[in-house]
Amino acid sequence: MLSTIKNQINVMIVNDSPYMVEILSNLISSHDKIKVSMKARDGVDALRKLKDKQPDIILVDLEMPNMDGLTFIEKAMSQYVIPIIVVSNYSQSGAKLILDFLEFGAVDYIAIPQDSPELIHELQDVLIRKIEAVAGVNPMVLIPKAIARLRPSVQKRPDARGASTKVIVIGASTGAPNIVSSILSQFPADLHAGVLVIQHMSKDFTTSFAQRLDNESDLSVREAKDGDQIHDGVVLVAPGDYHMVVGPDKKIHLNQSIKRLGVRPSVNVTMISASEVFGANVVGVLLSGMGQDGAFGMKVIKKRHGRTVAQDEFTSVIFGMAKAACDLNAVDKLVPADKLSMTILEELETNVGE
C-alpha cells in the first residue's frame, strides 16, 4: 500500500482545526519518507477528495462539523480500503466513542494531550512509528467484520467460585481490540479457566473496553483491581498504565514499576508471573500488535510446559508481537483470527499440567 513514488507514505489529515492540521503536518513531515499529501476540514470534504485520489494512511479527528469522524469511517470503509488512525484530543468521556471508531474499522488511535501544548512534540515519535507500522497492512484485515451479537443471553456465573487451576493470558495491541472481543464472545460461560487480558491501551480507555467486552461475552469481564482472585469464567483486563502481576496467592497485584519494552501494562510481566504460579496450566496468546512485548513471556510459558497460540500474519493488522514470539520458537500454534478461540480451548484441554 506504500506509494510507488520513492516508496513514500502519503498521509491525509482530516481535522477541522487549522492549528492541529499544521501541528500534525509539521510533526509528520519531519520524516523524509512520510508526506502529508491531502488535507480535509471534515468528513464531507474528505470523502469528496477521496473520489479523485486515495492516500496510504488517513489521520482523522473525533469531533468535526458537517460529518464527524465515526460517520466518516463508516462511509469511507464502505468504499475504500485505507488504514485509518484516529488522532484526537480526548477525555475519559470519549473512551466509548474511541472504541466505536476501532470497531468500525480504524486500526488505532493516538491521543493528543489536552491543554498541554508543550507536550505536542512528544507525539512525533508515536505518530511516525504508527504510520510506518500500519502503512503496509494487509488490506483484507481492514474490512470490518461484524462481531457476533444478539446471541441468546445466558446468566453470567457469579465470581464467588474457587480459585482457577488454569489461566489463559491474552496479549494484544494495535489492531487487536476487535479480535479480543471475538475470542471472548466464543468462549463458553462455564469456561474452566480464568482469563487475563493485557491490551496496550491508555488508562482512560481500559474501563470502557472491559465494559464493552462484558456486554459482548457470556463471561464476566471487568477491569482488574489489586487483590482480585483469578476465577474460572472471569476475565480481568489490565488497567492502563499498570502492570498486572499474578502473585503466589493466585491474586492480581497491580504496580507502576518501570515500563517494559516501552509499555505499561506489559504482556511479558503478566505472562511470566502467571507461568511462575500456574506452571504448565497456562495458555499464552499473542495477537496483532507492533513491538516485541509478549515474545519473551510466551517463551517462558513454553519453557514451563504451558501452551502458546498466536494470530497469523495474514489476519493481523501488524504482525509484530506474534512474529517476535515466532522468531524465538515460542509459538505452538499460529492460526488465523477466526480460529483463535477454538484453538485456545483445544490447547486448554491439552494443557493438563504434565
Burial class (CB in 10 A: 0-12, 13-18, 19+), 262: exposed
Looking at the annotation, which residues are catalytic?
Answer: 173, 200, 293
Please state, in angstroms and rounded to a whole number, the distance separating the CA atoms of residues 148 and 11.
Answer: 33
Q: How far apart are the first and last CA of the chain?
A: 46
Encoded amino acid at 354, one letter? E
pTM over 0.75: yes
Q: What is the CA radius of gyration of the chain?
A: 20
Place of cell 477491569: 223
> If DSSP states are collapsed to H, E and C, what string results for 137-198?
CCHHHHCCCCCCCCCCCCCCCCCCCCECCCEEEEEECCCCHHHHHHHHHCCCCCCCCEEEEE
- Render each residue's pLDDT in the chain as its tens digit; 354 residues: 444 455 799 999 999 999 889 989 998 888 889 999 999 999 999 999 999 999 999 999 988 889 988 889 989 988 898 999 999 875 545 577 778 888 888 888 888 766 555 566 677 888 998 999 888 787 677 766 544 444 444 555 555 456 799 999 999 999 999 999 999 999 999 999 999 999 999 888 899 999 999 999 999 999 999 999 999 999 999 999 999 999 999 999 999 999 999 899 999 999 999 999 999 999 999 999 999 999 999 999 999 999 999 999 999 999 999 999 999 999 999 999 999 999 999 999 886 544
Q: From start to end of the chain, where are the E strands?
A: 9-14, 34-40, 57-60, 84-89, 108-112, 167-172, 194-199, 220-223, 234-237, 243-246, 252-255, 282-286, 307-311, 333-335
Q: What is the pLDDT of residue 163?
A: 79
Identify the structural domains of the chain with CATH numbers, from first to last.
9-142 (3.40.50.2300), 167-350 (3.40.50.180)
Burial of 352 (0-12, 13-18, 19+ CB in 10 A): exposed
